[in-house]
């Protein structure tokens, strides 16, 4: 038997497992970005990850769990998470792991703003102020005033994790709607399936590298590079990507299903110190002073918003009321 009753401790545990797996996933993709195309990594990890997710579906109750009365919302959720991942990973090939992750972490702040039209929640001046502070942090990290040799990549590359954060915020709001009636394993299968479809389409259109030499931006070359069969240790890294993908999809879906979003979401910020750790240990990068200030503002604003929502105790009730209306 599997209980659907909210359980904060289990939700937090799933969140920590999921965030750790995400940090390993990000590190591996950045590590492999110099030799393989992004769409190949996305397809491969999803092909392996969906097997893991299907096994969990079987364990949680059987194939009937994959049936849904809301295919449209599941497709939209899948497209949003694909957009979030592709935008983030395309930037990751060029930017430092820590600053890319920091920019992406405005997503919880965007969840707060989007909960107004999506879930009908009321957001007071304190949380709006925190969102503004977080956006100031993003501006400091991205440095839109810098140009030429002052920045490591074109400004549009810094906007990619912002686009990813917006798409991820929409994904989590949809998870709160769909998770009331859909198991975490089934949610993971739908996501992996969407990644497989998108990866296969990229392969059909650009898998031979026909567009690779037409672009100069390294982030786009990462996206359009031709497929290369992995050799040696790289094969094990691709296998690890697939296993990690299965853990991420299941753990994150379960975290938001089994606990109040305001309870588990602050633990997403453990991804920031993990990103700094991997950035230093694997790539020898540490954030500079201005980037560290921006990261601190994003981190502080996000934690304030979550602690405020937790004290107000609104998110889970709002999500379930909305679920009944839609």
- DSSP-derived letter for residue 69 is S
DSSP string, 199-258: HHHHHHHHTT-TTGGG---HHHHHHHPPP----THHHHHHHHHHHHHHHHHHHHHHHHHH
Lookup result for tokens 């996000």: 302
* pLDDT exceeds 50 at position 326: no
At a CB cut-off of 8 Å and minimum separation 6, what does 276 contact?
97, 98, 286, 287
Do 320 and 133 meet the contact criterion of CB atoms below 8 Å apart?
no
Band of pLDDT at residue 149, cut at 50, 70 and 90 = low
Give per-residue pLDDT as tens, 158-216. 899 999 999 988 887 887 777 666 777 788 888 889 989 999 998 999 888 888 888 87
* pLDDT exceeds 60 at position 319: no
């Amino acid at each position: 038997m599997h209980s659907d009753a909210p359980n904060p401790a289990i939700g937090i545990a799933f969140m920590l497992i999921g965030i750790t797996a995400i940090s390993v996933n990000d590190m591996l993709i950045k590590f492999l970005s110099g030799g393989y195309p992004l769409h190949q990594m996305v397809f491969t990890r999803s092909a392996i990850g969906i097997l893991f997710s299907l096994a969990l579906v079987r364990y949680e109750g059987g194939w009937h769990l994959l049936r849904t009365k809301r295919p449209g919302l599941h497709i939209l959720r899948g497209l949003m998470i694909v957009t979030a991942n592709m935008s983030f990973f395309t930037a990751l090939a060029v930017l430092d792991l820590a600053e890319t992750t920091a920019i992406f972490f405005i997503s919880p702040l965007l969840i707060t703003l989007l909960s107004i039209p999506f879930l009908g929640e009321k957001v007071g001046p304190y949380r709006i102020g925190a969102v503004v502070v977080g956006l100031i942090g993003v501006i400091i990290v991205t440095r839109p005033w810098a140009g030429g040799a002052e920045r490591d990549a074109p400004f549009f590359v810094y906007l990619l994790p912002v686009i990813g954060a917006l798409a991820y915020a929409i994904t989590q709001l949809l998870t709160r709607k769909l998770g009331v009636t859909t198991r975490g394993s089934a949610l993971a299968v739908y996501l992996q399936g969407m990644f497989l479809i998108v990866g296969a389409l990229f392969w059909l259109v650009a898998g031979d590298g026909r567009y690779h030499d037409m672009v100069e931006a390294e982030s786009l070359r990462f996206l359009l590079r031709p497929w290369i069969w992995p050799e040696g240790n790289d094969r094990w890294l691709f296998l690890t990507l697939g296993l990690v993908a299965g853990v991420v999809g299941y753990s994150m879906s379960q975290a938001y299903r089994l606990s109040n979003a305001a309870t588990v979401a602050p633990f997403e910020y453990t991804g920031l110190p993990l990103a700094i750790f991997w950035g230093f240990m694997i790539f020898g990068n540490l954030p500079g002073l201005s980037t560290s200030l921006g990261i601190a503002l994003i981190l502080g604003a996000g934690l304030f918003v979550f602690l405020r929502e937790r004290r107000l105790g609104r998110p889970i009730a709002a999500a379930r009321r909305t679920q009944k209306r839609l």
